[in-house]
């Protein structure tokens, strides 16, 4: 049996803090203060003979090198860039290592949430802000919060994975030095080998056993970016070829020996139970093996997925009614009446004298709306589950491994540690795979089918019906302009609470105001002398959850549309005014860059119009210009320019793809998507009702990444929030019509 | 028993004739490049060729496919050198990749019909294929590149 280094994770982390600079690991006291499991290397337990693991991300056996992808791949490319960051430091080439998704472990807590969860705006780099972030980081460590989301993969892993790779490299060199008698300083590494001065090459795998017997080299330094072979340069994502060749297996493509297929019909009144059902017709349908009753619905076990789906469709169910208003109009009424002290979430920011400011000059008032929207990644919810007397094994693509354990275990009376979770490549998520509908019902079904592996696939219709939507929100903004300047902006919104809801369903409820309702509302970086940002949390509406860019997906639209209205009222140019008002120099540069890219010169005329919007979300300042033409068939989107500052562009080709995709996501849903409730269920159950963007509407999208931010930031979500307001502002410029509610196609036609 | 040819191999399946080809391929034959996305011909992720024509396999009942020849992405001729697949790799089109096998099968059909399509022609033929990740700019570029490769081969 090979053995683990006598290295604790704490020692590793402190080692990395010494070189990572600015990361506050290790600043926190004694080993006793930590939850003991947070310091363990989860790879140690499964290590084979003559094998070594240096930290939770690198494992070397005599026949292979395995790099661990801590963050789940939901299409954003982190199944590639995470191992490449390690491989860069280890001098490994693509093809020389395998990739495995991380299992559940507090060792994989997400350091990248420290900035988003601490109550300071991203541009605030003051000592007080950094101290709060350090405290948040320590809380994350203690909590062992393992989650992919919030555009946090690179902020979380940029330093720690390069350090992990450097520690592996230097320890392998030390092992080679011990074997050969050559000084470490005379050794180098290349393509998976340590190379001696005489040219002799020793493969890393051949050093695994010896490396496991020496102390790891904890002060190993990651290289300066100028030395990078792969990172920062156009490189091939490791999953591209297998996806193009149709070889990559998504969760839905997996199969296992003796497996049976299941599909479900669940109460569309979300969260409510089944009252009764009649499966008379379904029982005799082809391929049907069993009908099961579960807490909030019914399941059919059959010999293939289609038989299961058809049979479950034929079951007549009586449902307990919804706990939220049955009809959509009443959801809006609840929101309208939520701007009251008893529903106050938080007054997030207050500058100057807002009441006096609003009385100065010309008052501008506007109400904005954003509907519930579905996630609907193209791969429907699915999973394979097997329950035995020992516990449950589950194969499912998910962003929160430890919460999967908790939710599955809780559903069937197990302890979380009895649930073994195998993460899968996911065909998209956009926030959907942070929720648990498939996990919970799969546990229930597999528990009733003990000993038989069950493959669950949701029909698209069922997936729509159970999709916990993006928050619904109304904003009531007021502002004033005087002498060609914005004097005041009083931004208020009432919304359902996406993050609070998710945390509660994850078994970690929070009483704090939902911080995502501040995103895009309080982090406004314009020089407005009187400013206030306030959230109200509507009660008793549909559960809501995180949808690509979360709070900023609605607030970004509200804020940047309203700022545009104020700028217009002040008689200013939308671009020049934003640049002039921007208080953060490198954020101003983002606006200046997009102005230069689009050659912004003011109004276009002849039915053409341009709109600009700037939103910082998840720490990434992003500016977009949308150009439209009003044609006799409706609005045509001609071109989009995007500039975003992420501190460091680590994977440039994927960066561009992510930004373009974020723009397509933001524009498409703003144009034509909403979920509406009738009789407690959503009325949209397939893509013909909730289409988003197809290729015929997709404009040319020009992208530029900037590297001025002092921190490394993510880009999965930040291109989304500016897209809708930039489009609405462009439509205003082209037509004079101000659209204040999504989806826009309720108010204007699109080509 | 229903008999059909899949990727050049004769196969027999014992299912009801109404069962969609998509699910026969995936669950009965273990061929997974055709994906289930919508089940109602709204997304194109299940696109395969039947007797050389690109079709939505979720809408093709197996009873009607009996005796016909089905080609999925797995069974493409000279797959490794295929100009469309090569272009898709060079342009790094996929993000999540779930829709891409269907996009590729549709693009192959497009280029069989129109050897050098304009953006408008690409839009017309490819608009039935949904990509939730928004890779459309790269799909367009890859189709143009594949068209150029195919012409260079001639």
Read off the pLDDT of each residue in B34-58 and give the average, rounded to a whole number.
97
Read off the pLDDT of each residue in B9-25 and give the average, rounded to a whole number.
98
Judge whether residue A33 has pLDDT over 60.
Answer: no
Q: pLDDT higher for A206 or A38?
A: A206
Give residue-wise pLDDT tens across range A663-686. 999 999 999 999 999 999 999 999
The token pair at A78 is: 């982190």
Q: Which residues of B are less than 8 Å from A307 in CB distance?
A: 19
The token pair at B121 is: 């022609």
Q: For A660, which of B23, B100, B134 is closest by C-beta distance?
A: B134
Give residue-wise pLDDT tens across range A467-499. 999 999 999 999 999 999 999 999 999 999 999
B122 close contact with A: CB closer than 8 A: yes
Confidence band for A39, pLDDT divided at 50, 70 and 90:
confident
Q: What is the DSSP letter of A651?
A: S
Q: Which H, E and C letters describe A50-114, residue by residue?
A: CCEEEECCEEECCCCEEEEECCCCCCCCHHHHHHHHHHHHHCCCCCCCEEEECCCCHHHCCHHHH
Q: Which residues of B are less than 8 Å from A654 in CB distance?
A: 92
What's the pLDDT at A74?
A: 98
Of A619, A501, A513, give the one whose Cα is nearest residue A156.
A619
ipTM for this prediction: 0.99
Interchain CB distance below 8 Å, A244 and B32: no
What's the pLDDT at A244?
A: 98
Where in A528-619 does DSSP place strands (E)?
A: 530-537, 608-617
Of A199, A200, A201, A209, give the one whose Cα is nearest residue A175.
A209
Judge whether residue A439 has pLDDT over 90.
Answer: yes
Site from B86, B95, B122, B129 to mutate, A interface, most A CB atoms within 10 angstroms:
B95
Judge whether residue A35 has pLDDT over 90.
Answer: no
Angle at alpha carbon of residue A292, lines to A290 and A293, rounded to 5°: 160
Size of interface A-B (CB pairs under 8 A): 169
A29 close contact with B: CB closer than 8 A: no
Judge whether residue A17 has pLDDT over 80.
Answer: no
A286 close contact with B: CB closer than 8 A: yes
Alpha carbon of B154: minimum distance to chain A alpha carbons (Å): 24
Read off the pLDDT of each residue in A193-206 and give the average, rounded to a whole number.
98
Judge whether residue A20 has pLDDT over 90.
Answer: no
Q: Which residues of A are less than 8 Å from B38 in CB distance?
A: 460, 686-687
Q: Report CA dihedral (B86, B89, B93, B94) to the nearest 10 degrees.
A: 120
Q: For B135, which of A248, A430, A661 is closest by C-beta distance?
A: A661
Confidence band for A37, pLDDT divided at 50, 70 and 90:
low
Residues in CB range of A338: below 8 A, 6 or more apart: A494, A536, A537, A538, A539
Judge whether residue A29 has pLDDT over 90.
Answer: no
Residues 56-75 of chain B with CB under 8 A from chain A are 72-74
Interchain CB distance below 8 Å, B98 and A379: yes
Confidence band for B153, pLDDT divided at 50, 70 and 90:
confident
Q: pLDDT higher for A10 or A569?
A: A569
Read off the pLDDT of each residue in A344-349 and give the average, rounded to a whole number.
98
Q: Report CA dihedral (A141, A144, A146, A152) to the nearest 10 degrees.
A: -10
Q: Which residues of B are less than 8 Å from A668 in CB distance?
A: 134
Alpha-helical segments (H) within chain B: 21-23, 62-65, 83-90, 100-113, 119-126, 136-153
Give residue-wise pLDDT tens across range B100-136. 999 999 999 999 999 999 999 999 999 999 999 999 9
Confidence band for A38, pLDDT divided at 50, 70 and 90:
low
Interchain CB distance below 8 Å, A379 and B96: yes
Task: Please check whether residue A420 is in contact with residue A394, taking contact to mean a CB–CB distance below 8 angstroms.
Answer: yes
Mean pLDDT of chain A: 94
pLDDT more than 70, % of chain A: 95
Give residue-wise pLDDT tens across range A245-261. 999 999 999 999 999 99
Read off the pLDDT of each residue in A203-229 and give the average, rounded to a whole number.
97
Interchain CB distance below 8 Å, B134 and A662: yes
B140 close contact with A: CB closer than 8 A: yes
The token pair at A153 is: 């993969």
Q: For A428, which of B15, B39, B133 is closest by C-beta distance?
A: B133
Give residue-wise pLDDT tens across range A692-736. 999 999 999 999 999 999 999 999 999 999 999 999 999 999 999
The dihedral sign for the CA sequence A171, A176, A179, A183: negative
Q: Which residues of B are less than 8 Å from A243 in CB distance?
A: 94, 97, 100
Site from B62, B77, B132, B141 to mutate, A interface, most A CB atoms within 10 angstroms:
B132
Residues 27-56 of chain B with CB under 8 A from chain A are 27-28, 30, 32-33, 35-40, 42-43, 45
Confidence band for A31, pLDDT divided at 50, 70 and 90:
very low
- Report pTM: 0.95
What's the pLDDT at A13?
A: 29
Mapped onto helix, strand or coil, the DSSP state of residue B44 is coil
Task: Please check whether residue B146 is in contact with residue B90, taking contact to mean a CB–CB distance below 8 angstroms.
Answer: no
Confidence band for A133, pLDDT divided at 50, 70 and 90:
very high
Nearest residue in B to A685, CA atom: B38
Judge whether residue A599 has pLDDT over 50.
Answer: yes
């Amino acid at each position: 049996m090979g053995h683990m280094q006598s290295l604790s994770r704490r020692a590793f982390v402190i080692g990395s803090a010494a070189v990572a600079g600015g990361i506050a690991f290790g600043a926190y006291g004694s080993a006793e203060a930590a939850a003991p499991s947070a310091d363990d290397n989860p790879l140690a337990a499964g290590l084979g003979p003559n094998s070594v693991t240096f930290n939770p991300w690198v494992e070397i056996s005599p026949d292979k090198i395995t790099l661990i992808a801590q963050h789940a791949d939901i299409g954003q490319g982190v199944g590639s860039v995470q191992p490449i960051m390690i491989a860069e430091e280890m001098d490994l080439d693509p093809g020389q290592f395998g990739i495995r998704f991380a299992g559940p472990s507090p060792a994989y807590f997400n350091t990248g949430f420290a900035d988003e969860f601490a109550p300071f705006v991203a541009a605030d780099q003051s000592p007080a802000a950094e101290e709060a972030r350090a405290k948040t980081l320590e809380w994350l460590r203690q909590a062992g919060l393992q989650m992919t989301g919030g555009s946090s993969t690179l902020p979380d892993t940029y330093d720690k994975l390069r350090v992990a790779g450097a520690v592996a490299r230097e320890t392998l060199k030390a092992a080679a030095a011990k074997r050969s008698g050559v000084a470490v300083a005379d050794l180098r590494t290349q393509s998976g080998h340590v190379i001696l001065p005489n040219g002799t090459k020793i493969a890393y795998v051949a050093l695994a056993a010896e490396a496991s017997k020496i102390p790891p080299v904890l002060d190993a330094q990651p290289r300066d970016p100028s030395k990078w072979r792969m990172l920062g340069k156009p490189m091939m994502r490791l999953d591209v070829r297998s996806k193009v060749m149709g070889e990559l297996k998504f969760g839905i493509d997996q199969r296992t020996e003796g497996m049976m297929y299941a599909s479900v019909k669940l109460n569309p009144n979300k969260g409510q139970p089944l009252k009764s059902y009649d499966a008379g017709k379904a029982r005799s349908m082809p391929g049907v093996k069993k009908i099961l009753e579960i807490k909030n619905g019914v399941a059919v076990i059959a010999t293939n997925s289609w038989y299961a789906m058809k049979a479950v469709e034929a079951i007549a169910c009586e449902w307990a009614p919804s706990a939220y208003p049955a009809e959509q109009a009443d959801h809006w009424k609840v929101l309208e009446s939520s701007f009251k002290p008893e529903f106050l979430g938080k007054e997030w920011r207050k500058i100057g004298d807002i009441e006096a400011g609003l009385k100065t000059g010309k008052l501008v008032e506007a109400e904005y709306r954003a509907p519930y929207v579905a996630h609907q990644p193209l791969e429907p919810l699915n999973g394979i589950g097997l329950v035995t007397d020992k516990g449950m094994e589950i194969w499912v693509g998910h962003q929160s491994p430890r919460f999967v354990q908790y939710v599955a275990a809780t559903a069937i009376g197990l302890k979380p540690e009895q649930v073994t979770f195998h993460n899968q490549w996911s065909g998209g998520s956009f926030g959907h795979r942070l929720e648990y509908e498939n996990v919970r019902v799969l546990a229930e079904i597999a528990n009733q089918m003990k000993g038989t592996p069950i493959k669950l696939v949701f029909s698209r219709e069922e997936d729509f019906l159970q999709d916990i939507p993006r928050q619904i929100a109304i904003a009531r903004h007021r502002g004033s302009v005087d002498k060609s300047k914005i004097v005041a902006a009083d931004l208020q919104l009432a919304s359902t609470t996406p993050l609070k809801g998710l945390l509660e369903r994850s078994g970690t409820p929070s009483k704090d105001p939902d911080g995502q309702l501040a995103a895009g509302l309080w982090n406004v970086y314009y020089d407005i002398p009187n400013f206030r940002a306030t959230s109200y949390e509507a009660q008793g509406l549909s559960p809501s959850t995180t949808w690509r860019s979360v709070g900023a997906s609605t607030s970004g639209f509200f804020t940047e549309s309203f700022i545009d209205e104020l700028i217009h009222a002040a008689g200013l140019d939308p671009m020049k005014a934003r640049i002039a008002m921007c208080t953060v120099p490198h954020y101003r540069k983002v606006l200046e860059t997009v102005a230069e890219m689009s050659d912004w010169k003011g109004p276009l005329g002849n039915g053409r119009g341009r709109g600009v919007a700037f939103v910082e979300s998840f720490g990434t300042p992003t500016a977009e210009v949308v150009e439209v033409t009003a044609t006799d068939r409706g609005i045509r989107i001609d071109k989009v320019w995007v500039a975003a500052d992420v501190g460091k562009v680590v994977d440039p080709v994927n960066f561009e793809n992510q930004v373009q995709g974020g723009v397509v996501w933001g524009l498409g849903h703003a144009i034509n998507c909403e979920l509406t409730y009738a009789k407690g269920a959503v009325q949209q159950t397939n893509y013909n009702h909730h289409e988003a963007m197809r290729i015929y509407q997709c404009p040319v999208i020009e992208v530029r990444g900037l590297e001025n931010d002092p921190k490394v930031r993510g880009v999965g979500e930040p291109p989304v929030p500016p897209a809708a307001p930039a489009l609405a502002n462009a439509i205003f410029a082209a037509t004079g019509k101000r659209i204040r509610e999504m989806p826009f196609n309720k108010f204007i036609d699109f080509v | 028993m229903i008999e059909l040819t899949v990727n050049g191999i004769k196969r027999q399946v014992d299912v009801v004739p109404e069962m969609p080809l998509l699910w026969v391929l995936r669950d009965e034959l273990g061929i997974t490049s055709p994906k289930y996305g919508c089940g109602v011909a709204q997304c194109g992720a299940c696109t395969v060729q039947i007797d050389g024509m690109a079709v939505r396999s979720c809408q093709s009942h197996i009873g009607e496919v009996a005796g016909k020849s089905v080609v999925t992405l797995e069974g493409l001729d000279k797959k490794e050198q295929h100009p469309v697949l090569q272009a898709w790799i060079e342009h790094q089109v996929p993000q999540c990749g779930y829709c891409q096998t269907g996009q590729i099968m549709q693009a192959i059909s497009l280029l069989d019909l129109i050897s050098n399509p304009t953006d408008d022609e690409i839009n017309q033929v490819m608009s039935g294929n949904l990509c939730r990740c928004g890779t459309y700019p790269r799909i367009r570029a890859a189709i143009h590149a594949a068209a150029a490769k195919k012409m260079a081969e001639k």
